[in-house]
Amino acid sequence: MENRPLEYDYTVAKMFMLTTILTGIVGMLIGVILAFELAFPELNTILGQGLAEYTNFSRLRPLHTDAVIFGFTLSGVFATWYYVGQRVLKVSMAESGFLMFIGKLHFILYVVGVAAVIFSLLAGVTTSKEYAEFEWPIDIAIVVVWVLFGISIFGLIGIRREKSLYISVWYYIATFLGIAMLYLFNNMEIPTILGANGIGEAGFGNWWHSVSMYAGTNDALVQWWYGHNAVAFGFTVPIVAMIYYFLPKESGQAIYSYKLSLLSFWGLMFVYLWAGGHHLLFSTVPDWMQTMGSIFSIILILPSWGSAINMLLTMKGEWQQVAASPLIKFMVLGSTFYMFSTLEGPIQAIKSVNAIAHFTDWIVGHVHDGVLGWVGFMIMAALYHMSPRVFKKEIYSKSLMAAQFWIQTLGVVLYFTSMWIAGITQGMMWRAHDEFGNLAYSFIDTVTVLHPYYTIRGVGGLLYLVGFLMFAYNIYKTMTSGRRVEESELQSASPMGA
Amino acid sequence: MDIAELQAYGFFTLTALMVVVLYGYIYHLYTKKKDADGHDYEDYSNIALKDDISDTPVSAISEHKEK
C-alpha cells in the first residue's frame, strides 16, 4: 500500500456545493418571476391559458420558498458541514469507509427528495401548510435524509482527534436536533385513504393525500411553532455556524470572544423556541401565549446581537481587510444584515406594531433582508472560501466577485426599502376609516398604490439573481480554469485571480 | 388544580430554573475563564485557525486518555 499523507476528503462537500448552486438558481429565478407576476398580473398566464396552472403565482410560490429553504440553504448547510466538520474535528472522511458511504447516500437520497418535491409541487400536490407542503411519502424520505445527516455528524464526532467541539459544531448539532423535532411534530398527518366519514365510507382521495393530525387553532399553533423555528434552525443557527468558522479563518483573526460565542449559543437555544407565537398575534390563540411570543421575540435581540457583535469585533484592528477583500465584505455585510433583521423582527413582534405590519409586504421585506442579506451572502462567502481548498485552484476573478457584491447589495437594498414603504402604506390604508368607522379604502386601492414598489422589488430581486449567476460562473471558472495553488497559499485569505 | 394550571406552574418554574442555570453558566465562564480540563476558553478559537490535519489539536483526545 502506498504511504500517502492523510488529507481531508471533500467529495461529499463538492456534491452539495453543486446542489447549492443549482437549487439557488432555480429558487431565485422563480422568486424573480413571482415578484414580476405581482407587479404585472398578466405574467401569470404568460405561457397561455392552457399552461396557466403551472405559471400562476399560487402554484409557483411554494416552489420558490421550498427551493430556497430546503434546496439552496440546506445544501449550503450540508456542503459546509462536510467541509467544516472534518477540519475542526481534525479527522478525514477518508479514514472511515462507513461515513463516506453514509455521506454519499445522504447526497443521493437528498437529490431524489428534491426531485420529488419539485415534481409534486409543480403538479399541485400539497398539504397546504406553509413551508411544510410536502405530502407524507416525501416527509418520510426527508426524515431518512435527515437521519443520514445525523449519522454523519455524530459519526464524525465519534472518531474525532480534537476533544473539544468547536462552537460551529454546537450550532450544526442544534440545527440537526431542532429541525428533527420541528419537522416530525408539525408533519404529523393521517393519509385520507385510512380515514372514514360519519356514515362509514372509507378510502378518500389519492393515496398520497393526508390531513394534519391537529385541528383548528392547535394546528395553527403547531404550524407557527414550526414555521418560526424553521427560520431559527434553518436560517439562523447553521448560518451562525458558518460565520463562526469562515470569518475567523478567512481573516486569520481569532474570534473576538469565545466565551461570548458560548453564552450566545445557549441564550439563543433558550429563547428562540418560544418566539413563534408572534405569528399569531390577534388570532384565536390564548392571549397570554401571544404576549409570551412578543416578549420572547424581544429578548431574542440579546443572543442574536451577541453573535453578530462578536463577529464584527473579530475584525477589530483589521478593518482594512473589509476594503481589500470582497469575500470579507460578504461576511461583514452578512453579519450586519443579521443584526438588522434580528432587530426588525422583534420590532414587528410588538403588538401595536404588528397591528400595522401583519399580513403586509413589510413582513416579506423582513424575510428577504434576512435571507438575501444574511443567509445568501454567508452561504456564497462560504463556498467562495471553500473553492480554492476543495478544487486546489485560485478563485477565478476577484473583480467579478467585487462587482457581484455591489450588484447584490443594491438588489437587497431596493428589495427591503420598497417592501418597507409598501408594507407600511398597505397597513395604514387597511386601517384608515372615516368618523363613522367606514373603511376609507377598498383592497384594490392599495394594489394600485403599491404597483411602483412591486416593480422596484422585482428589479431588486433581478439584480440579486444576476449576482448569483455571476457567483455560479466564478465558481465554475475556478473549478475549470483557475491557477493551481499550493497548500502554503491556503492558510487564511483565499487566493484570488484578478 | 387542573392539568392546565399544573402546566402553567410547571412552565413558569422551568423557565425560572433555566434563567438561573443560564446566568450561572455565564458567571462561571467569566469568573473561572478555564474549563474543567484547564484550557482557557479563548484558546478554543484556535480550533478553526489551526485546522490542518497535521496541526496539533488544542485539546487532543489522546492527551485526555492518558490522564
pLDDT tens, B2-25?
A: 988 998 899 889 989 999 999 999
- Whether the CB of B12 is below 8 Å from some CB of chain A: the reply is no
Distance (Å, rounded) from C-alpha A338 to C-alpha A342?
6
Q: pLDDT-derived band of residue B65, with 50, 70 and 90 as boundaries? A: low
Residue A263's CB is within 10 A of a number of other CB atoms, namely 20
Contacts of B32 in chain A (CB under 8 A): none
Chain A residues whose C-beta sits inside 8 Å of any chain B C-beta:
5-8, 87-88, 90-92, 160-164, 166-168, 244-245, 248-249, 252, 254-255, 257-259, 262-263, 266-267, 270, 492
Global pTM reads 0.95
Domain locations along chain A: 7-163, 165-193+211-238+250-322, 359-498
Write the residue in B48, B53, B63 that is nearest to A8 by C-beta: B53
Question: Which residues share a beta bridge with A88?
Answer: none
DSSP string, B1-67: --HHHHHHHHHHHHHHHHHHHHHHHHHHHHHH-B-TTS-BGGGGGHHHHT-STTSPPTTBHHHHHH-
> Does B35 have pLDDT greater than 90?
no
A35 vs B67, residue with greater confidence: A35
Write the residue in A5, A88, A91 that is nearest to B48 by C-beta: A88
Q: Output the nine-digit C-alpha cell for A304.
A: 442574536
| pLDDT for res B67 | 46
| pLDDT for res B64 | 56
Q: How many CB pairs under 8 A join A and B?
A: 82
Distance (Å, rounded) from C-alpha A375 to C-alpha A61?
19
Contacts of A299 in chain B (CB under 8 A): none
| pLDDT for res A403 | 98
Backbone angles phi, psi at A494, to 5 degrees: -70, 135
Q: Output the nine-digit C-alpha cell for A152.
A: 454523519
| pLDDT for res A192 | 87
How far away is chain B from the Cα of A412, in angstroms, using its nearest Cα?
30
> For chain A, what is the radius of gyration of the CA atoms?
23
Distance (Å, rounded) from C-alpha A20 to C-alpha A242?
15
- Whether the CB of B13 is below 8 Å from some CB of chain A: the reply is no
| pLDDT for res B61 | 86
Say if the Cβ atoms of A160 and B61 lie within 8 Å.
yes
Q: Please tell me what DSSP assigns to residue A198.
A: T
CA A206 from centroid of its chain's CA atoms: 32
Say if the Cβ atoms of B54 and A248 lie within 8 Å.
no
Distance (Å, rounded) from C-alpha A311 to C-alpha A308?
5
- Whether the CB of B38 is below 8 Å from some CB of chain A: the reply is no
SS3 A333: helix
Residue B64 Ramachandran class (φ > 0 left, ψ -120 to 50 alpha, else beta) = alpha
Indicate the pairing of strand A210-212 with strand A189-191. Answer: antiparallel
Say if the Cβ atoms of A259 and B61 lie within 8 Å.
no
Q: What is the pLDDT along chain A (498 residues), one digit of tens a residue?
A: 556 788 999 999 999 999 999 999 999 999 999 999 999 999 999 999 999 999 999 999 999 999 999 999 999 999 999 999 999 999 999 999 999 999 999 999 999 999 999 999 999 999 999 999 999 999 999 999 999 999 999 999 999 999 999 999 999 999 999 999 999 999 999 898 888 777 777 777 889 999 999 999 999 999 999 999 988 999 999 999 999 999 999 999 999 999 999 999 999 998 998 898 999 999 998 898 899 999 999 999 999 999 999 999 999 999 999 999 999 999 999 999 999 999 999 999 999 999 999 999 999 999 999 999 999 999 999 999 999 999 999 999 999 999 999 999 999 999 999 999 999 999 999 999 999 999 999 999 999 999 999 999 999 999 999 999 999 999 999 999 888 998 888 888 999 988
Distance (Å, rounded) from C-alpha A412 to C-alpha A330?
13
